[in-house]
Amino acid sequence: MSGILEGRAALVLGLDDVGEGIARRFAREGATLAAIDPQANTATIGGLVSGAAGDLGRLDVLVCNLLPSSRARPLADLDDPSIDHALGSVRGTLAAMRAALPWLRDSGRGRIVLIGHRYGESVGESLGAYNAAAWGLVGLARTAAVEWGPHQIATNVLVPLARTAEFEAARSRRPGVVDRLVDQLPLRRVGDPVEDIGAAAALLASDAMCWVNGEIVYADGGQHVAGPVLNPARFAT
């Protein structure tokens, strides 16, 4: 049976647990897929995107999963390297989007999915640089939604809550606290990277979502409605 991404060519940038889950779901849904982990080298992202699109022969979907790891530091103590590290993910995302634009424009039904964070609509204590980067992705997505919409390119931010290595590390350090946080989530569980987050990303990348543009879409089981946020700064030790 055909999947919802059959006939679509997709590129996933950033292969942590969430990125891997999205890539696996895209493949299951029939996409022709390229997946790249640029790690810290954002300067070469534009070339990586162009090369991958060339290898695929087309590009219909770009997924950018480039937010940096969290670094806890009070705002008064933030230095230039910390800001540069965080905002490098925004620069890398923009480079990827610009490199993908000609291919997505030619597609006539392009999709861009930026993997964001709830701190892109609120903030986390002692995570000023990360907050700035998360908000920056929302700004990029909504600007692209307006400027690139006439090319039938829909751009959205997907905010996940997933069972990742970082989450499990926090649970191992503070199992009682983290389990109580999970119990406060509306669905009483944390999402699976493939079955839950990957499925949401695949839907956003599909033709079914062609009329959704410039939105923050939550794949968090309702965390943004009623649940608490796990702040890594509170669970670093």
What is the mean pLDDT, run by run of 10 residues, along the chain of 237 residues?
Answer: 90 96 98 89 87 98 89 86 89 96 98 89 80 93 98 97 77 77 83 96 97 96 75 55
Q: Is the dihedral of CA 144, 148, 152, 153 positive or negative?
A: negative
Question: How far are the Cα atoms of 28, 93, 113, 221 from residue 44, in angstroms, in the given order?
Answer: 29, 11, 20, 35
Question: According to the model, what pLDDT value does residue 226 have?
Answer: 78
Burial label, 40 (beta-carbon count in 10 A; 0-12, 13-18, 19+): exposed
Of 42, 52, 48, 47, the C-alpha closest to 10 is 52
Cα–Cα distance, 1 to 130 (Å, whole number) = 41
- Fold annotation for 9-234: Rossmann fold (3.40.50)
Question: According to the model, what pLDDT value does residue 7 have?
Answer: 96
Question: According to the model, what pLDDT value does residue 169 have?
Answer: 73
Q: What is the number of other CB atoms lying within 10 angstroms of the CB of residue 157?
A: 27
| pTM beyond 0.85, yes or no | yes
Question: According to the model, what pLDDT value does residue 187 have?
Answer: 85
Of 160, 157, 177, 204, the C-alpha closest to 60 is 204
